[in-house]
Structures are given as C-alpha cells and as structure tokens.
Structure 1
C-alpha cells in the first residue's frame, strides 16, 4: 500500500491520526530526512486462533518501504515493549507464516516492494502502547548507521548478482537432502495408502479414500463380485444337477401356488359372509 498524493478526505483523516481503522504513524527514514512518510498500524484480528500471531499481542503494520527490514522495525517498536517476533509479508495473509529453512529453496515469496508486518509483542500492553505513543510524534525509522548498511539500488543489484555465484557442492548437498526427504515422504504415503486399500472387513467391504487408486479398488471389487457370482452358480448347479430334480422343483412350486390360491379363496368367502368384503 503506497500513498503518494492523498485525496482531501484521506489527508484530513491522516491529520486526525486515523484512516480506515488504522492509526497513522508519521516517520522519517533518518534523522536528516526532510520527507515525512506514513505507516499504518492497528491491532491484528482474525476469526480463527493463530498461534504464531495472537490477536491480543500482535500489531499489524502496512506501507513499510522495501528497504526497511526486521531489525529496523524491532528498534522502532521496542519503545512499546519487548518483541517476541516480527513476520514480514508481501500482503496480508491468514496463512501460517513460514520460516525459511533453505537458502536455495525458499518457501516464501521474496519481499521486493512495499510490504506488511506482524509485530508480536511478549505482553498485551505492547499493542495498546503502540496505538497511543506515536499519535503526536514523528518517529525515526532507520538509524544512520543502520541506513548505511541497507542494500538499495545498485548496491542491492550487485549483492543479488554475487549471491548467485554460490558453492556448487553446498547447493548440490542441499538439493540432495531436499529430494531425499521428498522421496521418503512419498514412500510413506504410498505404504499408508496400500495398507488402507488392503483392509477389508468380515463381509468383504473395503474402505474407499480419495487418495486411493480408483482403478486398483475397482479391480479388487470386481474380482470379489465375480467370486461371489461363481459361488452362487455352483450352489445352483449342485441343487439342480439332474433333470428330474428340476421337474420336481417346478412341481413343488406349482403346488405351493395352488395351495395359496385356495387359501385366498377361503378368506374371500369368509369376508363375504361377514359382509366385510370391499373390493373397491
């Protein structure tokens, strides 16, 4: 979020030390700077609990210049209370803020422009104090000695170029470790998946998961159904193996139907006699 030429309502609100729910903090880059810049701060608030950024101890800061790092922000907000951690991001996010574990395989986007910060204090009064202490003062964002060590412009480009020339063996070792860990994780997932697909209960039902191989499950299910059908056919063949057995089965079936028909006729006759017969 950058502000170059604020409109009249925005400028009026900034004069009142608040805009769009944020407190306005007027800062100068160094003591000798003649330009007044603005940071915007407010207590961090989310619907879900965030162990990294507790809402009662976290200050949300936006419009931070690219050359301002964690050390600068720590020194600037230290007057409000002891700081537990500072997380810098390109934009506001509710996702967990990752910690870089690899120099060559970063898990976060590089901070190349104006950014936001989550300043986590050790005590709750740090946020309260920060919302009051900067209302009438112009803060110094970077001390002179610190500013001289900041890499901007050509210095930054030279440093970025030099950082590309790294020790090949170190890079290779880190990549090998990364892919080894990845392969182990994939193998573990494959073993867990295989164990789940092989689990069946006493009736032959199998658990189906989204991560399972659908084709493998279908093949197992189809084989089970075929075995069941074959078993039923075998039992049927054993029951009606001879021709005379089939004739006897049919005759018995007809006798049962005739018997049931006669019983139904008797029931209807009794209902007619009792005048309770209602065909419609």
Structure 2
C-alpha cells in the first residue's frame, strides 16, 4: 500500500507559493538533468491588449535559451491548441502594440532565460497545463522534432543569417510602403486640423460644430505652430533695443546719472523748505 500511495502522490501537480505550478522540462529522453518551468494563469487588470486574453493566457517563467517560440508552442500543444507564443526578457505590456517589424529592423535578442505568454484557443487548456504532474517531464528534443544546440546551433544561425537579395528587397519595399502610407495619413490629418483652425486676417478662428456627444478637440500640433508663429511676428514688430552689451552698459550709466541728479535736486528742495519753515519772531 505504501508504494502505491507514493506513486499516486507523484502524479499530482506541484503548486508552490504564489500560485505557480512547477513543470519539469527535459532536453531529451536520455537526459538525466531536468529543468523547472513555473506557470500561472495570466491575470493582470491593467492588461487591455487583445493579444493576451485573461481567460486563455498562460504566464511562464524560467524558459531556457534553447527553447524558441516554436519549441514552446510544440511543448504546450499537448494541453490544447496554441494560438500564439510570446517570449520576452522581462514581464511587461504586449509588444504587438506598435507596427510589426522584420527581424532585420529589430535589435538582436538577448541570450538568456526568458518569460513567456502562451495564448490557447480554449480556456480549458489553462487548467490542463496547471494540473500536469511534476513526475512527467516535457521533452524538448525528439526524433521527430530535433533541437540543435552548441556548435550545430551556431552553424545553423550563421547559415540563416545569409538572405537572398530578392527576399531582402521585398521586405524593404513592404516596410517602406507601410511607412509612406503612415506618413501620408499623418500629413492628411494635420492638413484637416489646420483647415479647421485656420485664422483669418483679423485673427479669428472658424469653429465648426462636431457630432453630438463628441468631446472637445485638444490643441493640435498645427494650432501650436500657428500660435508660435504669431508670437514671433509680434516680437518682430517691436523695436530691438539693447542688443549689444555696450548699449546695455551705457543705458545703465545714464539711468544712474539721472537718479543722482534727481537726488541732488531733492536735497536742495528739502533744504529750501526747511529754511522757509524756520521761526523768525523779529
């Protein structure tokens, strides 16, 4: 009875403080060493990205360097269909918020342990992954799906670094088309804002009525540029004084001389008033 209890205990999932479930990872079937992954359901209130649904996303810690995104997708596919896999150096917001860039325009990835976000097709896959027993390791490299490491991996990376000119030209053309389209949309938006906030000769701005329920339009870049140009025109109309240092110094000397002259005149006036107020009975 004792051995059966021990075997039954090993078939249970291992949950550690913090709500993380421990999964064993084995590089190959013949490997004696095992690696530990820590998985938990991704629940972040501030996460508003549609790329990480709160009910179908699994957060993974301690992903080793030899596990690429396609390897992680294959390992966790046994718990259900995987929609997407995202590996990052540190936990954070989704990197899909900006435009998707080719690998030629992205900085080189850091080599080291990573964190992962695995999005399943079904919410039941999260429970299946969290209930996986610790005694059944996930095998990374198999005969059907071998994973290269060491010198073989470096040779493969060096071979993959060579790109055909036609393929590279296609990637560059696609990137430039998206960039030009985005620039045209930005220029069109600024043009519309400039037309709405265009001033007439007397300085009046035409205000148009928007749709019902729309919020007030904030200050745009075009409006800020017009205000700045207006202020510069006002400054140009004014006379430029004390441009040089010697002009400023002479102005200060003249001002001090006028103050001294006025002080002497005030002293004489006060002395005269005192003399007039002196008591003379005879």
Fold equivalence (TM over 0.5):
yes
Which residue of 1 is the match for residue 105 of structure 2?
Answer: 105
Q: What secondary structure does 1:145 align onto?
A: coil
| Structure-2 separation of matches of 1:130 and 1:23 | 9
**Structure-1-length-normalised TM-score:** 0.61
Q: Does the C-alpha gap of structure 1 residues 109 and 42 become closer, same or farther in structure 2, counting only changes over 3 Å?
A: farther
Equivalent position to 2:178, from 145, 163, 181 = 181
Equivalences for residues 196-235 of structure 1 within 5 A: 196-198=193-195, 199-200=197-198, 204-205=204-205, 209-212=219-222, 214-220=224-230
Q: CA offsets, 1:95-148, max 9 Å, x none?
A: 243795634234x762632112212222222112211123x4231331422563
CA distance in structure 2 between the aligned counterparts of 1:195 and 1:217, rounded to whole angstroms: 17
SS in 2 for 1:209: coil
- The correspondence of residues 1-280 of structure 1 with structure 2, limited to 5 A, is 17-48=15-46, 49-97=48-96, 102-106=102-106, 110=109, 112-134=111-133, 136-145=134-143, 148=146, 150-198=147-195, 199-200=197-198, 204-205=204-205, 209-212=219-222, 214-220=224-230
| Kept in 2: contact 1:17–1:25 (CA 8 A) | no
> Gaps spanning 5+ residues in structure 1: where?
1-14, 225-280
Confirm or deny: 8 A CA contact 2:14 2:21 kept in the other structure: no
Query: SS state of the match for residue 123, structure 1?
Result: coil
Are the equivalent residues in 1 in contact too, given 2:61–2:114 (CA < 8 A)? yes
Query: How far apart are residue 50 of structure 1 and its match?
Result: 3.0
Partner of 2:243: none
Structure ranking higher in helix proportion: 1
My pick for the range that moved more, 80-89 or 30-39, is 80-89
SS for the counterpart of 1:212 is helix
Q: Which moved more, 1:165-174 or 1:42-51?
A: 165-174
Output the CA distance in 2 between the equivalents of 1:151 and 1:100. 28
Q: For 1:63-85, what per-residue CA distance to the aligned partner results, in whole angstroms no more than 9, with x for missing partners?
A: 11111133433333233233222
Residues 208, 125 of structure 1: alpha-carbon distance in 2 compared, 3 angstrom cutoff = closer
Deviations 1:192-246 (A, max 9, x none): 213312334898137873533744433357779xxxxxxxxxxxxxxxxxxxxxx
Structure 2 unaligned blocks of 5 or more: 1-12, 207-216, 235-282
The CA distance in 1 between the partners of 2:127 and 2:42, in whole Å, is: 12
Q: Secondary structure of the equivalent of 1:45? A: coil
Matched residues, number: 210
Deviation of 1:41 (Å): 0.5
- Aligned partners of 2:170 and 2:123: how far apart in 1? 43
